């Protein structure tokens, strides 16, 4: 089965998504197309990287993932074709593929200009360049003919989460449509002890003290911590939009703190 996912910031009001899909279907007939999202905020590479990394593991081996969030369209930025053990990824070299680069078997700069379509301008590489490259892979064209391997793909510079005694620091990496705050803090890092989450946003510092396993456990009107579907910490309200209430957006700092149990001194150690 030829399977292609498509992730863009094109929206659905214009013809852009349809033109990309039509080009793929014309060049690689029989392809099954799956939309990840077309509602990425314009030019928001970090959100695109998050959505791609979250969705891609759910697809069968051999899937081609085409992601076009490309503020540098028409410039000298490279087009990348990245192969992992299970999939292909085609995207601009602007950091969008950061989450998959560590697992990459091959990272190539696409220089097969004969694959590109002759467009009237340089504003729609999604249709004229990215779609033909994806179609080449869907037809089984292989990686060797696309261009040279490179060792310097661009990566996003977002800081990873950190932990130290009594404290974990991270950030909000996504706000979903329900207003849940998705962080980059692995919930496996959290202690069994009662902890407090502090999020810094436009309205100042906000706090959550409850830790729950699902939304129905969240006390009415109060924020809580829970494990999200990606295995990371999320902060949520039950039936309301926490991001709106707290005026929080992606990138907000998150700090988790708790009281460390005092270590036993020599005189306190007992044996039995």
CATH topology of domain 162-258: Elongation Factor Tu (Ef-tu); domain 3 (2.40.30)
Q: What pLDDT is stored for residue 182 in this prediction?
A: 97
19 phi and psi angles, rounded to 5 deg: -65, -40
Report the DSSP pairing between strands 224-227 and 106-109. unpaired
Q: What pLDDT is stored for residue 269 in this prediction?
A: 38
Whole-prediction pTM = 0.90
Q: What pLDDT is stored for residue 36 in this prediction?
A: 98
Q: What pLDDT is stored for residue 35 in this prediction?
A: 98
Angle (CA) 71-74-77 rounded to 5° is 70
Q: What pLDDT is stored for residue 158 in this prediction?
A: 87
Classify 252 in phi/psi space as left (phi over 0), alpha (psi -120 to 50) or beta. beta
CB count, 10 Å around CB of 160?
8
Residue ranges per domain, the chain?
A: 3-138, 162-258
76 phi and psi angles, rounded to 5 deg: -85, 10
Q: What pLDDT is stored for residue 143 in this prediction?
A: 85
The SS3 of residue 174 is strand
Angle (CA) 254-258-262 rounded to 5° is 150
CATH topology of domain 3-138: Rossmann fold (3.40.50)
Q: What is the pLDDT along the chain (272 residues), one digit of tens a residue?
A: 799 999 999 999 999 999 999 999 999 999 999 999 999 999 999 999 999 999 999 999 999 999 999 999 989 899 999 999 999 999 999 999 999 999 999 999 999 999 999 988 899 999 999 999 999 999 999 888 899 999 999 999 989 999 999 999 999 999 999 999 999 999 999 998 889 999 988 878 999 999 999 999 999 999 999 999 999 999 999 999 999 999 999 999 999 999 766 555 544 433 33
């Amino acid at each position: 089965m030829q399977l292609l996912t498509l992730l863009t910031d094109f929206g659905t009001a214009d013809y852009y998504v349809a033109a990309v899909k039509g080009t793929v279907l014309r060049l690689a007939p029989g392809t099954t197309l799956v939309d990840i999202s077309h509602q990425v905020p314009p030019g928001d590479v970090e959100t695109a990287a998050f959505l791609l990394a979250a969705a891609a593991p759910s697809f069968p081996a051999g899937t081609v993932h085409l992601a076009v969030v490309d503020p540098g369209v028409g410039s000298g930025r490279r087009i990348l074709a990245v192969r992992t053990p299970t999939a292909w990824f085609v995207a601009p070299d602007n950091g969008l593929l950061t989450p998959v680069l560590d697992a990459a078997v091959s990272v190539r700069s696409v220089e097969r200009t004969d694959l590109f379509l002759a467009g009237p301008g340089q504003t729609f590489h999604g249709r004229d360049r990215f779609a033909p490259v994806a179609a080449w892979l869907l037809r089984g064209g292989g990686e060797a003919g696309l261009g040279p391997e490179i060792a310097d793909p661009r990566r996003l510079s977002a800081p990873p989460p950190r932990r130290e005694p009594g404290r974990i620091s991270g950030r909000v990496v996504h706000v979903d449509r329900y207003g849940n705050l998705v962080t980059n803090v692995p919930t496996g890092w959290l202690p069994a002890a009662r902890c407090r989450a502090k999020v810094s946003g436009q309205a100042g510092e906000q706090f959550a003290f409850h830790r729950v396993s699902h939304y129905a456990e969240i006390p009415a009107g109060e924020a809580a911590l829970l494990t999200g579907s990606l295995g990371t910490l999320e902060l949520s309200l039950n039936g309301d939009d926490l991001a709106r209430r707290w005026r929080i957006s992606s990138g907000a700092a998150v700090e988790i703190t708790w009281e460390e149990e005092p270590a036993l001194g020599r005189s306190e150690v007992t044996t039995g």
